[in-house]
Structure formats: structure tokens, C-alpha cells
Amino acid sequence: MSANEKAPAHYRAPYQHWDLAVTIPLGYLEGCSTKYVARWRHKNGKEDLHKALHYLDKLIETYPHNPVRKLNRSEIGYEVGRFSIANGLSVLEEEYILVLCNYKTDDDLRTARLILEDIIEIAEEEPMRPGTPDNGGHHAAG
């Protein structure tokens, strides 16, 4: 039985974040930040978006370190698209993850920060609806 199959049902998705992180591959800071953006609607809401921002700020602070990517930009775009569809991400969430998977300069990272600030702004306007085990989250319906 694979690790994906052993995961609790509420963590299973057709394309899990750790599979994206291994396929690209993503560095630690990129992986943590994109994970929080991918899950915020199903787990800890705006708190997760602020965690994503914290990891992104550390990435910007420690730039330049450009991890070696094994996939080219179009392959990364394809994988991020698959991941986005499988996890029901918004266009902005997908764009954020794509930028972090492809960044080359500190300007790219600052663009990612602007996108994440937009996501946070949208989240501030939405009522918090944490996920339930039925829709991929872990919170009980309230």
C-alpha cells in the first residue's frame, strides 16, 4: 500500500501536494508556502494564508538561492495545472503556485507576494468555511 493510500481519507486528493513537490521538485520554503495556499480553504483558513506569506517572506529574504529544477517550464505548468484541477484551486491560487515553481529572480518572488496578498484580501472578504471530512477538510460541519 502506498503512502498516498495510507493517508487519512480527508487528506487524500487525486493529486496530492507532496507529489507535486517531488515531481517539480520544490525546495522546502517553496513547498511549505504552496502547501498552505493549496489547503487554506479546507483546513485553517486565513491562518494558513498568513503561514504561506511567512514562508514566502523567508524565501525572499534568503534569495538568491535557486534550486535546480528537473522539469522545464512547460512541464511544470502542466503539473501545476493538473494539481490545481485535482484540488479545486482558484486561478489566483494556481498562479501563485506556478510562480513559486518557476521563479528565477527576486522580482518573480515579489510578484508571488503580490498574488498572495490578493488571495489574502479575497479570503478576508469571504466567510470562513473550513473543510469537513466529506470535502477534503478535517473540521466537523458547524
pLDDT tens column, 10-27: 667 889 999 999 999 999
Query: Could you tell me if residue 7 is inside a domain?
Result: no
Query: Could you tell me if residue 68 is inside a domain?
Result: yes
Number of domains into which the chain is organized: 1
Angstrom CA distances, 16 to 7, 22, 126, 137, stand at 10, 10, 25, 13
Query: Could you tell me if residue 8 is inside a domain?
Result: no
Query: Could you tell me if residue 112 is inside a domain?
Result: yes
Contact status, residue 18 vs residue 141, Cβ threshold 8 Å: no
Structural domain harbouring 20: 15-125
pLDDT at 45 over 80: yes
Query: Could you tell me if residue 4 is inside a domain?
Result: no
- First-to-last alpha carbon distance for the chain, in angstroms, is 34
pTM, entire model: 0.79
Round to whole Å and give the CA distance between 42 and 89.
11
93-106 residue pLDDT tens: 999 999 999 999 99
Contact status, residue 73 vs residue 133, Cβ threshold 8 Å: no
pLDDT at 88 over 70: yes
Virtual torsion, Cα 134, 118, 128, 7, nearest 10 deg: 30
